[in-house]
Chains A and B, each alone.
Chain A
């Protein structure tokens, strides 16, 4: 993992913790063995996370397409890098 990936991962983990009202801690978010639903993330948390990612990184997440990448930090990092976010 590059330094950019690490920095993005940590920033996203922070957004996840905020979106879940602290339920999914940054440390738990970064654990790739389980997805966010299994960690206790709800659909309402996802709504907040999507809004936070779009606002923070100036990207648009097309929710009419496949959104399974939102289930893990690594998937979100991959999506952001595809959008040229560094």
Chain B
């Protein structure tokens, strides 16, 4: 197992580096002891099939224990599946059905399906399934980590990564960002997410950096408290966190030791990047995709600039170019192998010469820098959370009172974008009741903030829902009958 060997070396080389948050810090040396304990407990608890790596979900908020859980699964030769704890119970059941987990390590924050039992795994509850899957889709022989994405498929897709792909992403990131053992990384993104996984967790462990993983929402005061108390050199957060930081009046930037602030998943607004630059925080807005890993970086970002230059080993090109902008294709050494639960779909997105066809549009400037220009198709990106319109529409009709529904992310003038839905009812039901049903099944960011009811969905002559009319409806109404 390539990944565990490489991370172990990083831990051994930097025994005094720290992992923690405001309330708890442990050294890499102590982390190794915890991993030993957890791997022994995992081996005892899991009914491992000889020759088949254990499939262990990790569903928890950021914490030092996340790291020891992750490493313990690798240590026993298992494959960790990193799952967003915001997913709803129905989504986790669906994943379990497709992926056949041998167990799930969790912190109680997620809604897990009924299982056989929950046992203690050296401090982390381990959920065990009611029945061992009699047959399940096989993992690729070199798969060492599975992560989820839901921007491209009908439900969260499980991407298989080889150890060499994960290592390549981390090495390229360390090289470009000059991450090293003198760094202290403060990461507000969830560790299951590519932003955290590929810029903080794995590169940080390999480089021997201090790693700080708060669990709470990145409100301006929460970020400020962590910056002042923990004195990080690298801040990692989604664009929404930077938007709120820019809008806040907190005067703490002068005390910051930050050398690097990272954002990704959605383009940072010009106003936010300009405001933060005036407070001595220049945010590097890089480009990466769940399927390919991180692709670009710029160590010297300018407000309103692009998303940086290709990382070592990454090649970008465009096709269907019009007015300088085309569909982006990316080739990297850090790409996933396939979707475990959508066989063939990921492979189908690669060109014959190994380029992944993205759903993003952009331009490659003469300097070589990437400038993103928008997205293709029916995928949504809301505050850095990516998901498909099909997922939301399936969710809408999961309530028995809903005959049909469609969803859109719309942006009011001067306001923040929101997810809204237009719904046809079979019988009387109010938006609160619908949302209660949806929240029990899916992650809260997939549940529409605004729901309006119509007698029929507006369609064109070909019977296709008219997106422009849906947007008009959503911008014009509040929840109402």
User: How far, in angstroms, from A33 to B435 measured CA to CA in the complex?
Assistant: 13
Question: Which residues does A use to contact B, with CB under 8 Å?
Answer: 20-23, 25, 33-34, 37-48, 50-51, 54-55, 60-65, 67
Q: Is the interface of A mostly helix, strand, loop or mixed?
A: loop
Cβ–Cβ < 8 Å partners of B416 in chain A:
21, 44
Q: Is B464 located at the chain interface by the 8 A CB criterion?
A: no
| CB–CB B449/A47 < 8 A | no
Would A48 and B439 count as touching, CB distance under 8 A?
no
Q: Is the beta-carbon distance between B217 and A38 smaller than 8 angstroms? A: no
Give complex CA distance A40, B241 in Å.
20
Decide: B240 and A54 in contact? CB cutoff 8 A: no
For the complex, give the distance between the alpha carbons of A38 and B478 in Å: 14
Which B-chain residue is minimally distant from A55 (CB atoms)? Answer: B249
Contact (Cβ within 8 A) B220 A51:
yes
B217's partner among A25, A39, A63 (CB-CB below 8 A) is A63
Contacting pair B217 A43 (CB below 8 A): yes
- Please tell me if the beta carbons of B478 and A22 are within 8 angstroms of each other in the complex: yes
Name the CB-closest residue of A to B249: A55
Is the CB of B110 closer than 8 A to any CB of chain A? no
CA distance A40 to B421 in the complex (A): 11
Which 6 interchain pairs have the tightest Cβ spacing? Answer: A63-B216, A40-B449, A50-B219, A64-B216, A63-B222, A34-B432
For B222, list chain A residues within 8 Å (CB): 63-64
What is the CA–CA distance of A20 and B450 in the complex, to the nearest angstrom? 10
- The answer on a CB contact under 8 Å between B450 and A61 is no
Q: Which residues of A lie under 8 Å from residue B467 when comparing CB positions?
A: none
CA of A78 to CA of B274, assembled, Å: 39
**CB-based contact A61/B249 at 8 Å:** no
**Residues of chain B lying within 8 A (CB to CB) of residue A51:** 219-221, 244, 247-248
* Contact status A23-B221, CB under 8 Å: no
Interface string of B234-247 (1 = CB under 8 A from A): 00000011001001
Check A38–B479 contact: CB distance below 8 A.
Answer: no
Give complex CA distance A55, B248 in Å: 9
Cβ of B214 and Cβ of A64 under 8 Å apart?
Answer: yes
> Are A47 and B215 touching (Cβ within 8 A)?
no
Contacts of A44 in B (CB 8 A): 240, 383, 416
Task: Determine if A39 and B432 form an interchain contact, defined as CB atoms under 8 angstroms apart.
Answer: yes
Residue B21, interface by CB 8 Å: yes
Taking a contact as CB atoms closer than 8 A, the residue among A23, A40, A45, A62 that contacts B216 in the complex is: A62
Shortest CB–CB separation between residue A51 and chain B, in angstroms? 6
Residue B97 at the chain A interface, CB threshold 8 Å: no
A42 near B435 (CB under 8 angstroms)? no
Q: Beyond the given A21-B416, A47-B219, A63-B217, could you list 14 further A-B residue pairs with CB under 8 A, ordered by the A residue number? A: A20-B449, A23-B418, A33-B432, A37-B439, A40-B431, A43-B444, A43-B445, A47-B240, A50-B217, A51-B248, A54-B219, A64-B22, A64-B214, A67-B216
Min CB–CB distance A47 → chain B (angstroms) = 5
CB distance from A13 to the nearest CB of B (A): 15
Whether a CB of chain A sits under 8 angstroms from the CB of B448 is yes
Which of A21, A40, A47 is B244 in contact with, Cβ under 8 Å?
A47
